[in-house]
Amino acid sequence: MILFFYPKEDNTLGCIKEVCAFRDDYEQFEKLDVEVIGITSDSVESHKCFAKKHNLPFTLLSDYSCLQ
């Protein structure tokens, strides 16, 4: 499993580069039976839009504790 955290919001340049790098290599991770999960403090709804916009084939989770 690859579990990565990205500290900024979904649609910031650095986060887009990071998640799209995992997306672009996703086929290789699948061949190795590796699950990819990204985590940030954005809402579930924001993640849905972000994942759809960038064709992300992996799960994005929300960590609301980062906002407290």
The tokens of 54 are what? 């960038």
User: C-alpha distances in angstroms, 18 versus 7, 15, 25, 68?
Assistant: 11, 5, 11, 25
Label residue 55 left, alpha or beta by phi (over 0 means left) and psi (-120 to 50 means alpha): left
* pLDDT given for residue 35 in this prediction: 97
Burial (0-12, 13-18, 19+ Cβ within 10 Å), 26: middle
Domain ranges (residues) in the chain: 2-67
Catalytic annotation, residues: 15
End-to-end Cα separation, the chain, in angstroms: 27
- pLDDT tens digit string along 3-33? 999 877 788 888 899 999 999 999 999 999 9
CATH top-level class of 2-67: alpha beta
